[in-house]
């Protein structure tokens, strides 16, 4: 599968490009700076330029699926939360519809299901993620939404805890590498289409954890 990774230079994005290539897929790494091209190639991806605040949609040409794992990051202001996490994500959905990219996996965030959760300082971010998720759910795309909890740069474990219900409590932080592997598992399991899955660190092998019937 040709998978466009939006945010390919990010923490999850880097892991994901490598894991897609290792799994026999053809990753396209979309980045916003040509200086990042070599790093995408080194991970087995085809680099392309795409800026969520500028020219973006043509970078999806020829892709079968897209993964949104870009983000404004914790060091920018709320204006970037609006422009990247909300509007940028919506632009990706529209661009996929325009370019015939039917399959979409979004990296959302745990509390997007309850944006008025604590801490109060993160509420605007969760609102942005939730509104982007709602837009994706209403689109024509075959979507899977992953809502990981706090991310770490710990080593991959190959195991997670996944929750399909909306009213459960939090869990352990999760390595970015395990979220990346969960994306690969979702792309390879059409049973996850239409699902919103909360992800935590855990003990269940990833391929089993993301199965709705598992």
- The verdict on whether 110 is a catalytic residue reads no
Three-state DSSP state, 89: helix
Place of tokens 């008025």: 116
**The two three-digit tokens of residue 88, written as one number:** 């940028």
What residue is closest to ligand NAP based on CB? 10
Three-state DSSP state, 86: helix
Cβ 195 vs Cβ 137: under 8 Å: no
Q: Is 16 left (phi over 0), alpha (psi -120 to 50) or beta?
A: alpha
Cβ 97 vs Cβ 140: under 8 Å: yes
Q: What is d(CA 70, CA 104) in angstroms, rounded to the nearest whole number?
A: 14
Evaluated on CA atoms 14, 44, 180, 109, the torsion sign reads positive
Q: Which residues bind ligand NAP (CB under 6 A)?
A: 7, 9-13, 32-33, 51-53, 69-71, 73, 84-85, 88, 107, 109, 148, 150-151, 176
Q: How far is the CB of 118 from ligand NAP (least distance, A)?
A: 15
Three-state DSSP state, 29: strand
- Closest by Cα among 113, 103, 185 to 136: 103
Contacting residues for 96 by C-beta, under 8 A, at least 6 apart: 60, 66, 102, 104, 141
* Residues assigned a catalytic role: 125
């Amino acid at each position: 599968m040709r998978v466009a990774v939006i945010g390919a230079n990010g923490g999850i994005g880097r892991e994901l490009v490598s894991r897609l290539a290792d799994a026999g897929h053809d990753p396209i790494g979309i980045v916003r700076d040509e200086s990042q091209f070599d790093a995408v190639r080194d991970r087995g991806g085809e680099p392309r330029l795409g800026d969520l605040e500028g020219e973006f949609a043509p970078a999806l040409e020829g892709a079968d699926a897209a993964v949104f794992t870009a983000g404004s990051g914790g060091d920018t202001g709320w204006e970037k939360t609006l422009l990247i996490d909300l509007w940028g994500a919506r632009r990706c959905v529209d661009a996929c519809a325009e370019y015939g990219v039917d399959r979409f996996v979004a990296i959302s965030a745990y509390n997007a299901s309850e944006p008025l959760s604590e801490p109060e300082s993160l509420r605007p971010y969760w609102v942005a993620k939730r509104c982007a998720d709602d837009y994706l759910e209403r689109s024509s795309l075959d979507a899977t939404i992953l809502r990981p909890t706090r991310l770490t740069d710990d080593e991959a474990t190959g195991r997670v805890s996944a929750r399909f219900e909306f009213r459960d409590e939090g869990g352990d932080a999760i390595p970015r590498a395990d979220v990346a592997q969960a994306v690969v598992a979702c792309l390879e399991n059409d049973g996850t289409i239409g699902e919103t899955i909360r992800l935590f660190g855990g003990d269940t092998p990833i391929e089993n954890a993301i199965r709705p019937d598992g």
